Chains A and B, each alone.
Chain A
């Protein structure tokens, strides 16, 4: 057995990334520790989603410098599916619709891929029904085609269902709160809380991307980062989210500019 201490956490260092040769991320340093909740806030176009896609291996996002490790493993060297198997999860802001692929079959394939052979079909079904109830989802959704004709709220609930079912080591939630009504937001918040309280999800680290602090009323962040123009310009405690709500990003931008 190795006595080498493993560098636990989702550790991002000096990460730079481009989309269609246009540099977006200009050196991101950020570490999400197991069981911790980090909020990543910032105005539209600041690069938050680019960070999410760069970490999870979207083919259109090219990492040009820096590193990212997941509990010591170099995730940038892995294909997208292997990153998921390593324990990384992304809740998409705009999940793809895949007509003809039923939700139940997709979830089963995903669970089998990430946690092979862990649950017999009957128990898996029971697990799904339990998580769906928590999210206020109609069990009939299992027979529908993946995100096909889903409302915005249904899509986000399904992303949260996947989070609950896959119980990843690190979860990036990309604007999961946007476009949700209060009930849906509450269901999403409770689902995250339930995962964090569970055996499987107790050590899950979260990176919650949002530009409004609404979701943070349900999930209290340990750390809040502010991203502007592809850089993290400010990091603080939960209070920072409220400051942003009061003052807006322009004031933060000015303050950060003054420091720089």
Chain B
């Protein structure tokens, strides 16, 4: 006997199991509708890119509110660091200032993560609170499960912290998450994300930050695992003096697909953003990068730079790089530079001429290629971990 249930009806039936304190049933259903009606914005196939993101829908049966787990370490003193359910019970007022405060929830996959928000973390930094050690948020997603990790960070005036998000997902799992950061004046938040899902997992992440006046927000995103990893990362600059940095590195190998989009949206002038993206692909790995800089017509004095380098390490690997600069203001500094290429023969020869064998030379050069991005990740331990992960992908 065959039962035909529309994916929307099957998923809608799963909503009832999710914590109404975090989000009530009506808003969850509205978010799910948004997921099914919204387009990903990435329908257009690239030269090589053929993955249909519109078709990425979790199996209803795999959606279970208790499947995923989150552990949170670090932070002490006045900071509030807790899981999402506790935050909804005990800090509802604070939570409401950041939950849904960015455009993350309006995107296709952000809406899906909103509909099933439950497994998550909340970080609250009171005024002038400075956390020296990073706050580590670790999500563990078991094989076959569909989980929707939701991380929320609210930093008050002058507060400073570094957050390290880790996503570990088992075989054939489906993770669709959101990270939202809201800061008040002069705060500084760095959020580093490491995704190390199993090679056949699907991971869709939407990250958005809204820095306050004279505040600084840094994203550092490493998409290392998953068979399909889709990441949207953005900064909505709406207050003058804000500074935003965005670093992304990804390196599909085997048959991995990685799709990264970044957006720096300057809605106000006297603001600065810097985007650095380093990608490589080997074996039959494929990547696509969509780099957006948008400067509104009244955002005079904005200073935005986008640097995007792609390294192809095998003839069957592909990287599509699509920068898009929309600049409506006339008094801005905007820089864009992009390269796509193979390893440089002169660099290899230079190393060989010093006795370094070809394989070692190529590995050193390829690892070095990522280094300017790796160096922007917090803590030496994390950087070393990244280098090892990148090294393990090299031929």
User: Interface centre among A81, A89, A97, A166, by most B CB within 10 Å?
Assistant: A81
Question: When each residue 89-119 of chain A gets 1 if its CB lies under 8 Å from chain B and 0 otherwise, what string results?
Answer: 1101001111111000110011001100000
Encode B334-356 as 1/0 by CB contact (under 8 A) with A.
00000000001111011111111
| A56 interface residue per 8 A CB criterion | yes
Residue of A nearest to B365 (CB): A98
Given contacts A98-B365, A98-B368, contact A90 B353 (CB under 8 A): yes
Q: How many residues of B contact A (CB 8 A)?
A: 24
User: Is A80 touching B352 in the complex (CB atoms < 8 A)?
Assistant: yes
Instruction: Say if the beta carbon of B358 comes within 8 Å of chain A.
Output: yes
Q: Are A59 and B345 in contact, with the CB atoms below 8 A?
A: yes
B354's partner among A58, A97, A145, A166 (CB-CB below 8 A) is A166
What are the residues of chain A within 8 A of B356 when measuring CB–CB?
81, 109-110, 113
State the Cβ distance, B373 to closest chain A Cβ, in Å: 9
Do A80 and B349 form a contact, CB below 8 Å, given A85-B355, A113-B357? yes
In the complex, what residues of A have CB within 8 A of residue B365's CB? 98, 100-101
A110 partner residues in chain B, CB cutoff 8 A: 351, 354-356
Q: Report how far A114 CA is from B355 CA in the complex, Å.
A: 6
A98-B365, A98-B368, A99-B368 given; A109·B360 CB < 8 A: yes
Contact of A96 among B346, B358, B364, B370 (CB under 8 A): B346
Interface size range of chain A in the complex? 20 to 34
Q: In the complex, what distance in Å separates the CA atom of A89 from the CA atom of B353? A: 7
Q: Are A100 and B368 in contact (CB under 8 A)?
A: yes
Q: Does B36 contact A (CB under 8 A)?
A: no
Instruction: Tell me which residues across on chain B come within 8 A of A113, comparing CB atoms.
Output: 354-357, 360
Residue pairs across A and B with Cβ atoms less than 8 A apart, 26 shown, are: A59-B345, A60-B345, A79-B358, A81-B356, A81-B358, A84-B352, A92-B353, A95-B350, A96-B344, A96-B349, A98-B347, A98-B351, A98-B364, A99-B372, A100-B365, A100-B369, A100-B370, A101-B368, A109-B364, A110-B351, A110-B354, A110-B356, A113-B354, A113-B356, A113-B357, A145-B368
Partner-B contacts on A (CB < 8 A)? 56-60, 79-81, 83-85, 89-90, 92, 95-101, 105-106, 109-110, 113-114, 145-146, 162, 166
Report B's interface with A, CB cutoff 8 A: 344-347, 349-358, 360-361, 364-365, 367-372
